[in-house]
Structure 1
Amino acid sequence: MSKLLHLDRLREGRVLLAFSGGVDSTALFHLLLENNIAFDIAHVNYHTRETSDAEEKNAERLAARHSLQCYAHSCRLGGINFEHRAREERYRFFGYLMKKHGYTYLLTAHQLNDRLEWLMMQICRGSGLPEMLGIRSHDSRDGIEILRPLLEWDRDSIEAYLHERKIPHHIDESNADERYTRNFFRHRYSTPIMRDYRDAIRRSFRYLEEDSESLIESMDFKTVNEFAYAENPTNIRSLLYGIDRYFKSRSYLLSKHDKEALKGGGDHIIGRRFIVSIEMKYTFVAPYEANVVMDKGFKEECRKLKIATKLRGYLFGVPEAMRVMRQLKGAQELLRSD
């Protein structure tokens, strides 16, 4: 049976566990207790099932039994694309808790089967290596550090752990619905493959994550109001990945057309809402504001600084962002395309 990943990190800071009460998060809850990790839990009630309120009460009782804090959030999300909006809602809640209470890490209970299912879905979408490894053992989102200690545990091992210890947990009946893409891949492909090749799959993901970390450079966007900027990495693949992650942090998904266009560098309007300007040294992102009347002095300064025309409307109305732009405009370095 695998150990929890990142035990040293878990012991060094304050930990918040995203807790649904299902198989995976219940197992992680008890494994944290066994490893003497100090933590609290956060539970989101979407009111999508008759048992949702009972599951929230069970989470609160479980936390109280072990003298832990349980933060509960209640919401109702109607309309289309529920999975995406539910993910955004819970991460807003988790982020609020992390900042308010000073937690160091957010823990999610993703495991090895989840990782394989995600990789399969990304292959079928024509994605590259960073996207295939979207579920990483150590990641960040909106300034939150995320750890996934169960990523080397497969589903059968987790269920066996709960069964051997007679630990109660709830079963989400929607997991059987193959109308959800992930469930389709789970039932048709990943479950039988995992049972035959579990150890090899675990090793492969270790190697893939190590390779990805050596190939993809980080891109650290800083923000002033709604103006964002980052120093460019040394290769196009890292650049595109960094821009894509920034937009995802803003709850905006780039289209395939957007990504193809960004490969050429230069200035691009994204979704009629944003301007992305890729220069030699920096990438700039800002809201796209057209038809802004600017004075001649400002336009002349922008021309001398070689600021992208479509960025100027936003910068004209936000002096703080313009001051940062003045500071950044300096020697330019060529971006390689290898």
Structure 2
Amino acid sequence: MLKDKTLLNLKDKKNLLAFSGGADSTALFFLLLKHNIPFDIAIVDYGIREQSKEEVAYARELSQTHNLRCHIFKAPKIEQNFEAKAREIRYAFFEELIKEHGYENLLTAHHLGDRFEWMLMQFCKGAGCAEIAGMRSIQNREFYKLVRPLLHLDKKELLAYLHANEKEYFEDESNLDEDIKRNSFRHNYSMPLLEKYLSGIKKSFDYIDEDRAELIEEIEIKSINELAYFKSSKNQRTDIFVIDKYLKSKLYILSANERELLKSQKTLVVGRKFVVNQDKDFVFIAPYITNESPMSSEFKEACRILKIEPKLRPYLHKDKEAFHTVTKILNSTS
């Protein structure tokens, strides 16, 4: 069921599986075992369901049975905006493990239904081809690869595999709550369409992936501490796609309105967290700092000469190494 290309990227690597005990991650767990892929597992307990204790116990049991390391994190209580905050907590935990233990790949159990659901939601919000293409099976992050081995498989195929092999898994009742927008799209739109047009949807995503490889230029994002930068492609849509991809790696998702504003504004503060500055030759992304410390007259004059965006200056004043890098870049283009 797993593609040869994906298996090649996982073989002989240090892999970390994001595990929940649900059908998707459990199917991926046993498929990895079947193909002799080395991996450990990580699970987050949000403590909002009684069942979560059983899921953590199941993760422990599986790891002991198959001689794997099981990393467990008990999340703090989330008061509001649960989905976004849970994702932030989850990926912060995974990335901490990746750094600490030297994992090369983070494996998630996103499947075809998740990708199709995302595509429909983006389409309805207003998005272009790059955004609609959505998830990729292998994606480079700053210090690891995010791998989605199940992206070509439908949920029903995963359930059929689990049932045929008599594997235990848990159902998360919150997935039935249609007050959650994602669930509403899933139950009312993506699932009925997949039920009826599965082979056509699979083929369409194959074409979309081929087209994206041809149309979207791969741009290297460099970083120094918390400053990220890349050379502009001179194509606005491509630059915005790269900005969006980088911010997603930092657990921030651009809104449709912010994408529109990036088309007309040279500098934009997004989510009060990041400042994005689109220079004529380079794009800079840095933390947005408001409580700035007093800047020296020498620093102010250097920024004035180099025409450094004022909203970018507080971070560069704080990070001398990043300022030195920006100075070199801008001097080389003047």
TM-score (norm 2): 0.90
Q: Which residue in 2 is equivalent to 1:320?
A: 321
User: Structure 2: how far apart are the matches of 1:259 and 1:61?
Assistant: 45
Q: Does 1:23 align with 2:23?
A: yes
Q: Which residue in 2 is equivalent to 1:154?
A: 154
User: Structure 2: how far apart are the matches of 1:116 and 1:258?
Assistant: 23
**Cα shift readout 1:219-257 (whole Å, capped 9, x = no counterpart):** 444333443322212311111122223333333343444
Q: Which residue in 2 is equivalent to 1:87?
A: 87
Distance 1:129 1:77, change over 3 A: farther
Distance 1:128 1:74, change over 3 A: same
Gapped runs of 5+ residues in structure 1?
334-338
Percent identical across equivalent pairs?
44
Q: 1:221, 1:229 within 8 Å by CA — same for their partners in 2?
A: yes
Q: Which amino acid aligns with 1:173?
A: E
Q: Which amino acid aligns with 2:115?
A: R
Q: Secondary structure at the match of 2:264?
A: coil
User: Structure 1: how far apart are the matches of 2:272 and 2:163?
Assistant: 53
User: Structure 2: how far apart are the matches of 1:162 and 1:242?
Assistant: 37
Paired residues for 1:229-308 under 5 Å: 229-271=229-271, 274-286=274-286, 287-289=288-290, 293-308=294-309
Q: Secondary structure at the match of 1:276?
A: strand
User: Structure 2: how far apart are the matches of 1:310 and 1:177?
Assistant: 41
Distance 1:64 1:269, change over 3 A: closer
Q: CA deviation at 1:12?
A: 3.3
Between 1:24-33 and 1:319-328, the stretch displaced more is 319-328
Q: CA deviation at 1:167?
A: 1.1
Q: Which amino acid aligns with 1:168?
A: E
Paired residues for 1:1-338 under 5 Å: 3=3, 6-271=6-271, 274-286=274-286, 287-289=288-290, 293-332=294-333
TM-score (norm 1): 0.89
Q: Which amino acid aligns with 1:9?
A: N
Q: Which amino acid aligns with 1:131?
A: E
Q: Which amino acid aligns with 2:224?
A: V
- Cα root mean square deviation, aligned: 2.3
User: Structure 1: how far apart are the matches of 2:45 and 2:36?
Assistant: 28
Q: 1:265, 1:279 within 8 Å by CA — same for their partners in 2?
A: no
Q: Which amino acid aligns with 1:316?
A: H
Q: 1:118, 1:134 within 8 Å by CA — same for their partners in 2?
A: yes
Q: CA deviation at 1:116?
A: 1.1
Q: 1:77, 1:85 within 8 Å by CA — same for their partners in 2?
A: no
Distance 1:309 1:162, change over 3 A: closer
